[in-house]
A and B are shown apart, each in its own frame.
Chain A
C-alpha cells in the first residue's frame, strides 16, 4: 500500500458498536471480546495541545507539538501535530510520517495536520 493511502484504524466492538483507539481486549461497555477494524476517517478536530521543549531521548525535533484530536465518531487520539500554528477546535486530518526513534529504531505512525 502506498503511504498516502494508509488510513488510521480503530477497533469496533462487534456486539455494541463502540469504537476504540487504541485497541482493548475486552469492551469497556459490554465486555465483548470480539472487535473488527474500522477506518477512523480523515476528519477530526483539535481538543487540546502542547509545545514540548523537554523532549524525550529519541526525539530530535524541538519543540515537539503534541495534541489530542477527536474524530467525528467521538473516538479520540493523541499524536504529533505538523504545525505549531494551531488552536483548540481547529479541523485536523491524520497524515503518515516519521515519529521518533525507540532504541535507535525509527518509528512511523499517524500525525495530525491542519485540514485547511
Chain B
C-alpha cells in the first residue's frame, strides 16, 4: 500500500442553486480542486463521482462519465459511486484505494447533489428509500422519524435534554457564520431555539421531540478533492494532507434489529479501524467533522467515535469542549446542520473542511495548530458508516 495525499480541494457554496445544474456544481468544485492542486488535466487517470439521487431527482445517470468529458479529462477511467448519504465518503474511499494500490496515480474525486428540485415530502420519501423496504419504509418511516425515536430513547437513558440538542444547533450555526460556503448564515441562541414564541423564530415539530432546528436543511452543492501518492505530493503543493486512516462498517438495515438501539456499533467499528490504521487515538484528534444530520447524532457520534464516554457527549457539549477553541472542536464548518446537506456531497465536503483546517486556511473558523482531523459520514441512520483520519504532511 502506498501512502496517499490530498493535493487539491474545492467546493461550491451550499444552499439553493436555482440556475446551476448538478453538472455545473460538480464542474465548479472540480475545477477549483484542479486549480488548487496545480495538476495538468492530462495527469488525471481516474475519476470517482459520489451522488445519491441523480436518477430520481435530476433525470441523469453516469455522472462520472459526463463530468470527465466536460472537464476534458478523457480518456480517464471513471465510475459513479452511490452509497446513499455516504456517497461522498465512498467516492473518496474508491480514490484512496486506487492510489494506495498503485494502479492509478492522480485521481479526481467529486461529489454532489441537487435536491432543491422538488417538494419536502418527496425529498423525505427519497431519503427514506435507504430504510428497510418492508419493515420500515412501508410503515412510513423516514430518517427524521428514526432520529426522533432514537432521541427519545437517548433522553430516557442518558438524561439528554432539549437544551443539549439546541446547543448543538446553536454551536453549528455560529460556526457556519464564519464559513462562506455554508447554506445557513443565521445566528441563533439556545434560548431562541427553546422558546420560539419569545424569539419569533419558526421551530415547528418535525419528528417529536425533534424540531426544525434539530434537522439539517435540504441543500444543493458539490465538493471535490485531488489525490496522489504522498511521495509525489510536494511537487504540486507545499502542504499536502495525508489520508492516514480509513475505516468502514455496516449494521443491520432495520434500526429496531440493533442489539442496543441507542448504540451505533457501525461507527464504533469504522472509527476503531480508521484509528488503528492511522496509529493515532481519538485523544490525538484536533478537529472533527461529524454527520449531524440531526442534533442528537453529533452527541451520539462524539461518543461512538471515542472522543467521550458513552452517555457523556452532552456533558462535554455543555462544557464547551466541542466548540472552536475547545478540547476537540466538532463541525467548525457548521456541520450538516448549517453548512447544509446535499446528501451525496457531504462526505467530500467534510474532507474539504478538514484539509483547509489542516493547511491552516480555514480563516475565521480556524482551529489553532490542527494537525490531525477525523470525519465520519452516515448512510441512512448509520447502517453503513465511513470514517477517515487525516494528517497534515510536512
Contacts and interface: CB of A to CB of B under 8 A. Distances in A.
Interface string A75-86: 011111000000
Interface residues of B, number: 38
B79 interface: no
Interface in B114-168: 119-122, 124-125, 128, 132, 134-142, 144-145, 148-150, 152-153, 156
Grouping DSSP codes into helix (H, G, I), strand (E, B) and loop, the A interface class, with mixed when no group exceeds half, is strand
Contacts of B252: 28
Interface residues of A, number: 33
Given A88-B156, A109-B139, A50 B256 contact: no
B226 to A, nearest CB: 38
A57 to B, nearest CB: 4
Contacts of A78: 135-136, 139, 141, 254-256
A49 B147 CA distance: 10
A22 B254 contact: yes
Interface string A47-60: 11111111111110
Contact of A56 (B125, B135, B150): B125
Interface stretch (B202-210, B323-331, B343-351): B202-210
Interface in A52-103: 52-59, 63-64, 66-68, 76-80, 88, 99-100, 102
A56 B205 contact: no
A88 B151 CA distance: 13
Contact of B138 (A21, A48, A100): A100
Contacts of A51: 148, 205, 207-208
Contacts of B210: 50
Interface in B182-224: 204-210
A113 to B, nearest CB: 14
A107 interface: yes
Given A78-B135, A102-B138, A109-B139, A55 B121 contact: yes
Contact of B132 (A22, A58, A63): A22
A21 B135 CA distance: 8
Interface in A13-72: 20-22, 28, 47-59, 63-64, 66-68
A92 B148 CA distance: 20
Closest 4 CB pairs of A and B: A50-B148, A56-B125, A22-B135, A76-B256
Contacts of A48: 149-150, 152-153, 156, 261
28 contacts: A21-B257, A22-B254, A48-B149, A48-B150, A48-B153, A49-B149, A49-B152, A51-B148, A52-B140, A52-B148, A52-B206, A53-B205, A53-B206, A53-B207, A54-B144, A55-B140, A56-B125, A56-B140, A56-B142, A66-B139, A66-B141, A66-B148, A68-B256, A78-B256, A88-B152, A99-B138, A100-B140, A102-B138
Nearest to B205: A53
Interface of A: 20-22, 28, 47-59, 63-64, 66-68, 76-80, 88, 99-100, 102, 107, 109
Residue among B121, B125, B139 with the highest chain A CB neighbour number at 10 A: B139
A80 B119 CA distance: 23
A89 B319 CA distance: 33
Contacts of B255: 68, 78
A99 B139 CA distance: 6
B125 A68 contact: no
Contact of B124 (A56, A63, A67): A56
A48 B138 CA distance: 19
Residue among B122, B140, B145, B152 with the highest chain A CB neighbour number at 10 A: B140
Contacts of B152: 48-50, 88
A110 to B, nearest CB: 9
A31 to B, nearest CB: 15
A66 B156 contact: no
A58 B153 contact: no
Given A48-B261, A57-B121, A68-B149, A79 B139 contact: yes
B132 A67 contact: no
Residue among A22, A59, A67 with the highest chain B CB neighbour number at 10 A: A22
B160 to A, nearest CB: 13
A54 B144 CA distance: 8
Residue among A49, A54, A66, A100 with the highest chain B CB neighbour number at 10 A: A54
B64 to A, nearest CB: 29
Nearest to A100: B140
Contacts of B149: 48-50, 66-68
Contacts of B208: 50-53, 63
